[in-house]
Each structure stands twice: as C-alpha cells, then as structure tokens.
C-alpha cells in the first residue's frame, strides 16, 4: 500500500493572502461541527440525494452538499489537498473569480455524480469535486511546479518534491480508472465521477477565470 499527501507548491508563493481559500476552509469546518451536533438528520437535510434532485426537490443541496463531509479523515484529507493547490489558483484568478470558479466546479461535479446515479437514495457530500476543479486548473496553469509531498510506500515515509503534472495527473488517472465502479455508490463509497467532472471543468474553463493583469512566470 502507498500514496502521497501534497503539502504545497515550492516553486512559487502567492502574492496576496489566500483569503477566499481560508474562508472556504473555515466554512467547511463550521459545517462539519454542525454535522457532529446535528447528526444524521442534519446530513440528510443538506446532502444531495440524487433521486430527490432528479425529481425537482431540494436543488439547493447541490450547493450545500459540497460543504459537508462523511468523517474526520474525509474533511482533513480534502482540506489538505485544497490548501496545497488553492492559494496559487486564487492568486491567479483573483478572489471574486476564484470563489465563483470554486462554487461552479463543485456544482458541476455534484451534477455529474447525480447524473450517473439518478435513482440513488444515498446522500452525496464532500468538497472533493470543487477541489478537483482547482487541481484541474493547477495542472493546466502550473504543470512544472514542484509540489512538496509526503510519499508513503508501505512503512516507508519520506518528504519529496513531485512535479504537479505527475502528481495531479496520477491522481486523475486513479479517479478515471475507478469511475467505472460508480455503481457501487448505491451502497456508499467514493463518488469518483464527481472528481472526474470537477477536474475536467477546472482544466477546461480555468483560463476564462484568470485575472486580466496576470503576470506570467
């Protein structure tokens, strides 16, 4: 068993403080605390249930679901990935455009998952679709940047530097490979098509959200 945990871009630093990225993380943490307090009724109210959305009910959950998480590992993993790639994309786009991009990426990702499993009654939740959009933007914009990462191979753990194109590209191939198992979402699991949908949205549209005064490096 093995894997990697991205920690951040060592090739560049954002010019401005990533206010929106920090704000989104705070909102996710607050929502998770509310989940812990409210329990299953809270999750069922605000998570996206494909069957209900398809029949025209509770459309707002397509948006609210991206701020919910299934557990500690889920939210910690998502926020670590988000912090590794989000600040640079926020700097690239500017705060307002970045916020719109993030929310649209999450909505597209959730819609992709709902379209794949329209009759599912399993709640869909998580920020990973929106974060996948950020990663899609990153691989298009900064493919050669080195990402400080924790590399784990069985019991061997080390910190190394991996080109963004390799790290994100490998991550996307895993999502694409596992997307064929999307039917398993009927009994719970990872919503891989949300990841794929968000990533493609981010990679295709990121140039449209760049600041006009962006300086190339």
Q: Where are the alpha helices (DSSP H) in 50-127?
A: 50-54, 61-64, 72-93, 95-116
pLDDT in tens, 57-70: 999 999 999 999 99
pLDDT in tens, 94-104: 999 999 999 99
Can you tell me the distance from the alpha carbon of 144 to that of 183, in angstroms, rounded to the nearest whole number? 35
**And the tokens for 67?**
């701020």
* pLDDT of the residue at 189: 60
Can you tell me the distance from the alpha carbon of 108 to that of 197, in angstroms, rounded to the nearest whole number? 7
**And the tokens for 136?**
């899609």
Can you tell me the distance from the alpha carbon of 151 to that of 145, in angstroms, rounded to the nearest whole number? 17
pLDDT in tens, 195-204: 999 999 999 9
CA-CA-CA-CA torsion for 190, 192, 193, 195, nearest 10 degrees? 110
* pLDDT of the residue at 187: 47
**And the tokens for 124?**
């869909």
**And the tokens for 142?**
């900064």
Can you tell me the distance from the alpha carbon of 49 to that of 61, in angstroms, rounded to the nearest whole number? 8
Can you tell me the distance from the alpha carbon of 78 to that of 59, in angstroms, rounded to the nearest whole number? 24
Can you tell me the distance from the alpha carbon of 206 to that of 214, in angstroms, rounded to the nearest whole number? 13
- The total of other beta-carbon atoms located within 10 Å of residue 62's CB is 19
83: which residues sit within 8 A by CB, 6+ positions away? 8, 21, 25
The pLDDT-based confidence of 180 (bands split at 50, 70, 90) is low
* pLDDT of the residue at 3: 80
Q: What is the average pLDDT value for the chain, to the nearest integer? A: 91
CA 38 to chain centre: 24
Ordered by where they begin, the domains of the chain are 2-209 (1.20.1540.10)
Q: Is the pLDDT of residue 19 over 70?
A: yes
Q: What pTM did the predictor assign? A: 0.91
């Amino acid at each position: 068993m093995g894997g990697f945990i991205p920690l951040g871009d060592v090739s560049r630093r954002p010019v401005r403080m990533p206010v929106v990225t920090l704000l989104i993380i705070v909102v996710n943490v607050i929502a998770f605390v509310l989940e812990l307090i409210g329990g299953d009724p809270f999750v069922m109210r605000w998570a996206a249930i494909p069957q209900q959305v398809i029949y025209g009910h509770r459309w707002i959950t397509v948006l609210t679901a991206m701020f919910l998480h299934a557990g500690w590992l889920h939210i910690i993993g998502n926020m670590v990935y988000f912090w590794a790639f989000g600040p640079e994309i926020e700097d690239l786009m500017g705060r307002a455009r970045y916020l719109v991009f993030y929310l649209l990426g999450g909505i597209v990702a959730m819609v992709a998952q709902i379209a794949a499993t329209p009759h599912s009654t399993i709640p869909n939740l998580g920020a990973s679709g929106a974060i996948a959009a950020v990663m899609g933007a990153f691989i298009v914009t900064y493919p050669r940047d080195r990402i400080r990462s924790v590399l784990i191979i069985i019991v061997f753990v080390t910190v190394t530097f991996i080109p963004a194109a390799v790290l994100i590209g490998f991550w996307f191939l895993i999502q694409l490979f596992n997307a064929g198992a999307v039917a398993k979402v009927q009994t719970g699991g990872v919503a891989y098509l949300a990841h794929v949908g968000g990533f493609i949205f981010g990679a295709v549209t990121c140039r449209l959200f760049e600041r006009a005064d962006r300086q190339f490096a």
